[in-house]
A and B are shown apart, each in its own frame.
Chain A
Amino acid sequence: MPHKFMLGTFRHGTHPPASKGTADIPLSPAEVPEEIRLPLSQHIGAPAREIVSVGDRVLEGQLVAEPSGYVSAAVHSPVSGIVRGFVTLPTATGGKCRHIVIENDFLYEKSFLAPLPEDADAEAIKARIAEAGIVGMGGAGFPTHIKLSPRGGADILVVNGAECEPYITCDCRLMTEKAEEVADGVRLLKRALGAEKAFIAVEDNKREAVAALRPFEGDGLEVVRLRVKYPQGAEKQLIYAVTGRKVPPGALPADVGCVVDNVHTAYAVSRAVRCGEPLYMRALTVAGGGVEKQGNFWVRSGTPYSFVYEKTRGDLAETVTDKVISGGPMMGFAQAGLEACCTKTTSALLFLDAKQISRAAASECINCGRCFRSCPMFLSPREIEHAVLDEDFARAEKLNVNACIECGTCSYVCPAKRPLVQAVRLAKKTLRRGGGK
């Protein structure tokens, strides 16, 4: 429970080294490639359907693919140029999806939506969020306009600026440099949701961001400092830390009257409402021992990872990079190659060297109980792993494996380096397919 004199937090969790060396590097525009490969699936749900054809000229911010279902989101061109074709490429999360290839003409001719009036009502804001293709930018990419219409409503909006993953600093920079727009976006989201209160929750290692946001407090908007602990930014843990409400396993935040949005989403909402700018550009942290020019960049969707690497690698040898991670080191996705492209949800690209990654082999479980004592969901990872190794998925289900949020804390703390959260994923997947009988 949050307390007046204490920083809000949750029980259990762990403390990976912050490694946030890029926190003081201001955001700067990234270079833009000649060829943009724009993924049509940058969100959870049905991929967008393209509405342009080969040879069309498109403008920066122009709608090029429309939502193809209820849970889907619009996609806009990040540059002006000519549509050169459609290709299927791997995505950062290990799947494949259709991409629009756009040849950049470097003219950056814009085609934005009309700004909304100052007193736009909830419906108008929600419609604009859908039009602008805004999705949850914390990583999951759930279309934001759907989240803003929960059944039964919500009285609290929690805006997630925890950024508890190591290395990632783009949200910190965004809050520090664009505090006014972030706060404005939060107020717009609050209005769209009809919430009574909005909290911007920030881990206490981002004092600069808190100081920048403070002047915009008041009128139902509050900045909350949270204890530095992983996974502080996990939805359920965040809601508990800020409001003291507990989201039951299998339930949604809206079931306890809360909606959580990322700070970057709030910023995108402000831009879409005030300037009519659709979402096609975001802040990205590039870090790790494999790149010389670490930092935070405004990067356009559809920028290939290989291009980002080329522009930031500097004089370092390619062999220095041992592992490429899209996202943070706790929950991000390791990349086999650099074919994938940046999306609305790509918060970080890490080029880690041998010293920055763990390659320890698993040994026998010594039953120390560290996984059990640090699990933020109060599960027993070692027992779940035993069940999985026995291929007894029914037992794993009884051990509430489906309540796991896959934050990776158990695998991180394990002294025997056992793949605990990995076993959980296997169990969940098998159970989803109807296994475990």
Chain B
Amino acid sequence: MSKYIVSASPHITSPATTRRIMLDVIIALLPALVAAMLLYGFYTLFMAVLSVGTAVFCEWLFNVITRRRQTVGDLSAIVTGLILALNLPPVVPFYVPMVGAAFAIIIVKMLFGGIGRNFANPAITARIFLMLAWAGVMTRFVAPIDLSDGANLFVYFKEALNIDLPAAITTATPFDAVKQALESGANPAEGLSALDMFLGRIGGSAGEVSTLAVLIGGIYLAVRRVIDVRIPVIYISAVAVFTAIFYADTGYVGEYVWTYLLGGGLVFGAVFMATDYSTSPKGGVAVLIYGVGLGLLTVIIRKFGSMNEGVSYAVLLMNIVTPLLDRIRPRPFGTPRVKLSDKWLAWKRNRARKKESAAEGGECVA
């Protein structure tokens, strides 16, 4: 027995830990949560608590039942719960975030092996599931409250269980108007204020509406080097470029570009969901394809699909492509570049040889 600890090098490790990374993401989500409370009252906080609580409980329970090492300490379930809650409309019945969080954790995350193993972003997949399950409540939005009366902060609590909200408090999202404008050929920015959209004084999902709050969180994550900044930058730029291309004939290119950038949860999705570690690619070329793909899919869904926003579906689809994109690996440092034509010749030669040896060996090749 040695007096000293013996292990293979390296003997020191960086201060970064999984828990610290998740804590950083939680911190980065706080501005969006605060914005949601100021815009729609405390019911959004209530939803977040339910969602986070269910997520953590489900992960704990899953580990207990399957007798695995307990993993709730890594805080990733809190991140999933929080992102899901901020992705929902500000007023949904209390069981919606709970079912969503349970779906996200059990079906999307734990059944695929837990943290780092999920093939799709749990929060996004859960949101899509909820939109299919409760299409009505998932597409009704409310107007921001009037903060001059403090009692308004609690106003949505009593409406939450109603399947049919009174018409007086429901509102259209700016994207409904944009969609109508697309059909009628009118100016999509008619009656919209860029400042309102930037601050979040519009109808929309609780945490997504305030681009400002989301950007504050995004900058924090970038400074802390938690996320790969290339992903949101490429994604958002790609949306701008593809919007300009796809809407070139409408006569309102500028208006479409800024409404598309500020609305529909694009910035939230780009910062917090497209950057999810286990479902985003790592290499430079792969990240470029991923970001451009996200932008292209988002604009296609917005223009041609029946849905207004399209970020969720774009991220989900690109998540599925990620394992393929991860196969694009850089050459090890110093490896000389091989010409594409030479690669092709080598592949053909290899295939011919395989066929030959198979024929010689008399093996049956299907």
Contacts and interface: CB of A to CB of B under 8 A. Distances in A.
A154 B336 CA distance: 20
Contact of A419 (B3, B8, B21, B332): B8
B332 A364 contact: no
A336 B333 contact: no
B237 interface: no
A246 interface: yes
B335 A364 contact: no
Contacts of A321: 4
B164 to A, nearest CB: 43
Nearest to B73: A363
Interface stretch (A68-76, A202-210, A372-380): A372-380
Contacts of B330: 378
Contact of A411 (B10, B18, B116): B10
B17 interface: yes
Interface stretch (A125-133, A213-221, A353-361): A353-361
A180 B11 CA distance: 35
Given A329-B9, A331-B10, A334-B7, A415 B2 contact: no
B5 A330 contact: no
Contact of B14 (A240, A379, A413, A421): A413
Interface stretch (B87-95, B196-204, B275-283, B357-365): B275-283
Interface string A1-13: 0000000001100
Contact of B16 (A251, A333, A415): A415
Interface of B: 2-14, 16-18, 20-21, 71, 74, 76, 114-117, 228, 277-278, 282-283, 326, 329-336
A380 B16 CA distance: 19
A248 interface: yes
A111 to B, nearest CB: 38
A178 interface: no
Interface string A166-201: 100000000000000000000000000000000000
Contacts of A344: none
A411 B14 CA distance: 9
Nearest to A426: B8
A249 B334 contact: yes
Given A332-B9, A376-B333, A360 B17 contact: yes
17 contacts: A166-B12, A246-B333, A329-B9, A329-B10, A330-B11, A332-B9, A334-B7, A334-B8, A334-B11, A335-B4, A337-B4, A357-B12, A364-B114, A364-B115, A399-B329, A408-B9, A415-B18
Contact of A368 (B2, B7, B21, B335): B21
Contact of A367 (B3, B4, B8, B277): B277
A79 interface: no
A414 B13 contact: yes
A423 B95 CA distance: 45
Interface of A: 10-11, 14, 16, 166, 236-237, 240, 246-249, 251, 318, 321-325, 329-337, 352, 356-360, 363-370, 372-373, 376-380, 383, 399-400, 403, 408, 411-417, 419, 421-422, 425
Nearest to A14: B14
Contact of B12 (A330, A369, A419): A330
B108 to A, nearest CB: 15
B97 to A, nearest CB: 24
A324 B362 CA distance: 60
A377 B333 CA distance: 5
Contacts of B11: 323, 325, 329-330, 332, 334, 352, 357-358
Contacts of B4: 321-324, 334-337
A247 B334 CA distance: 5
A385 to B, nearest CB: 12
B332 A400 contact: yes
Contact of B9 (A246, A249, A330, A413): A330
Contacts of A329: 9-12
Given A337-B3, A363-B18, A378-B333, 18 more contacts: A10-B333, A248-B336, A249-B333, A249-B335, A323-B7, A323-B11, A334-B7, A337-B4, A352-B11, A357-B11, A364-B71, A368-B21, A370-B16, A403-B333, A414-B14, A415-B18, A415-B21, A416-B18
A333 B5 contact: no
A240 B17 CA distance: 32
Contact of A369 (B5, B76, B277, B331): B277
A411 B331 CA distance: 21
A357 B5 contact: yes
B334 A422 contact: no
A334 B14 contact: no
B332 A322 contact: no
A336 B116 CA distance: 35
List 9 A-B pairs, minimum CB-CB distance, nearest first.
A408-B10, A369-B282, A358-B13, A336-B2, A246-B334, A403-B332, A367-B278, A415-B16, A366-B116
A403 B335 CA distance: 10
A337 B10 contact: no
Contacts of B18: 363-364, 366, 415-416
